[in-house]
């Protein structure tokens, strides 16, 4: 028997919540996106008026001001948005204990067990939509399907305040004509590759040979084939489920564009300090370092490298990240955001095979220095001690990466791979 999966997406979440608290701004274009003077951030959310004017999520604030001169910017208030998210989950919890957050404003709900007493998926979706509207004052768009991928497509299909059902009888007519980039995990690079092979719609992808897709995209090609055909069986996590920690990372949008290796080095060290401090707090060491970079036109790339030894040392993480950056970027455009991540985590207290080509006495001194910095900052605050590098640009270094820029999105397959593709990690 098919499952009944809903995907609920709060419409223009941040902006909608802000309008509840700023009714005087109704009827005027609004965007949530940080400090327009410091430009410490980008457009995180916009209301419908700003969207119609051409404002897009991810735009720099000055760009949004150009396309919509009368726009009002409000700084994000994450504590407020989290409170509304929690209230929405309390409503969802009255229909199922299988509810999986996909960010603050999106959630999958497996209501299969509730259909016998509360009606079919469409009936439950209508009830949830009405309750969110009247109890919280905001609207949601909900997709209804038998799998998570099509349910999410449904919530994006019509906005705002809409419900879309994709079932076995209509998905070929409604889903398959959609652009292939509408499918989860088809980003810009994958879209371009698929388009080059004549695959432009989800239907094209569904009809393509799995062996062909694997040859062009690796194992992810098989996953996308399964997604497009509605065959994904990935479960909805149970309420309050927490997957084992598989990586620790941090990223930030910089106060100004980065235009040199020296600029990037400041941000990389700030992020590496944050990552290494969290590794130590949780008794982990990373065996792989990953860096992600996005330029001022929102083009991005990610690179990673396996380390000679597992580490929680700031300098080793930062040096590996900078080496990856220098090998991968040629300064065609300024950079807007950078991320650093440690993956392949191991227990920091487990025995380690010594490496004859590594100065272990020096590594031990670096570890003690990091621990001393942790202690000083714990007692006297983050800015009580900083590396000399940070004084070369106080605007860039005025970022407390550990406290101010923490985002831990959930992976789609954090409970395990249910696509049938072995060895895949997303």
Query: So which residues are the catalytic ones?
Result: 106
Are residues 133 and 139 in contact, defined by beta-carbon separation less than 8 angstroms? yes
Between CA 246 and CA 35 the distance in angstroms is 33
**Is the link from the previous residue into 160 a cis peptide, with omega within 30 of 0?**
yes
Asked whether 160 and 11 are in contact (CB, 8 A), the reply is yes
**Angle value at C-alpha 291, between 287 and 296, nearest 5 degrees:** 175
Strand order in the sheet with 45-46: 45-46, 30-32, 72-74
Helix axes 210-217, 219-228, angle to 10 degrees: 140
- Alpha carbon 409 to its chain's center: 5
Rounded-to-integer distance, Cα 159 and Cα 144, Å: 14
Residue 14: φ, ψ to 5° = -60, -45
Burial 203-224 (b: 16+ CB within 10 A, else e): bbbbebeeeebbebbebbbbbb
């Amino acid at each position: 028997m098919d499952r009944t999966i809903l995907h609920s997406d709060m419409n223009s979440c941040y902006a909608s919540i802000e309008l509840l608290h700023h009714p005087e701004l109704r009827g005027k274009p609004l965007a949530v996106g940080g400090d327009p003077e410091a430009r410490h951030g980008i457009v995180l959310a916009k209301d419908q008026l700003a969207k119609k004017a051409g404002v897009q999520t991810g735009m720099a604030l000055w760009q949004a001001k150009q396309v919509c001169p009368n726009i009002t910017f409000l700084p994000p208030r994450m504590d407020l948005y989290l409170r509304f998210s929690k209230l929405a989950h309390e409503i969802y919890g009255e229909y199922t204990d299988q509810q999986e957050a996909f960010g603050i404003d999106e959630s999958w709900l497996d209501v299969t067990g509730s259909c016998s007493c509360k009606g079919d998926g469409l009936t439950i979706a209508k009830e949830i939509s009405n309750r969110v509207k009247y109890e919280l004052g905001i609207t949601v768009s909900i997709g209804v399907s038998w799998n998570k991928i099509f349910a999410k497509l449904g919530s994006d299909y019509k906005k705002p305040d809409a419900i879309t059902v994709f079932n076995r009888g209509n998905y070929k007519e409604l889903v398959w004509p959609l652009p292939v980039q509408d499918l989860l995990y088809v980003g810009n690079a994958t879209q371009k590759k698929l388009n080059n092979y004549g695959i432009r719609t989800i239907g094209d992808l569904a009809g393509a040979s799995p062996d062909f897709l694997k040859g062009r995209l690796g194992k992810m090609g098989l996953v996308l084939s399964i997604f497009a055909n509605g065959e994904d069986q990935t479960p909805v996590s149970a309420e309050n489920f927490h997957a084992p920690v598989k990586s620790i990372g941090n990223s930030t949008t910089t106060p100004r564009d980065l235009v040199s290796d020296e600029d990037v080095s400041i941000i990389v060290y700030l992020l590496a300090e944050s990552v290494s401090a969290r590794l130590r707090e949780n008794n982990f060491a990373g065996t792989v370092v990953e860096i992600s970079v996005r330029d001022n036109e929102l083009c991005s790339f990610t690179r990673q490298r396996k380390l000679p030894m597992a580490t929680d040392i700031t300098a080793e993480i930062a040096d590996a990240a900078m080496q990856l950056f220098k090998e991968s970027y040629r300064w065609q455009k300024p950079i807007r955001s950078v991320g650093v991540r440690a993956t392949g985590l191991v227990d920091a207290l487990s025995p380690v095979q010594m490496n004859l080509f590594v100065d272990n006495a020096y590594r031990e001194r670096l570890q003690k220095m990091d621990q001393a910095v942790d202690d000083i900052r714990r007692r006297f605050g983050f800015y009580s001690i900083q590396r000399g590098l940070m004084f070369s640009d106080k605007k860039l270094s005025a970022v407390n990466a550990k406290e101010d820029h923490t985002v831990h999105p959930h992976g789609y397959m954090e409970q395990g791979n249910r696509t049938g593709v072995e060895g895949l990690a997303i």
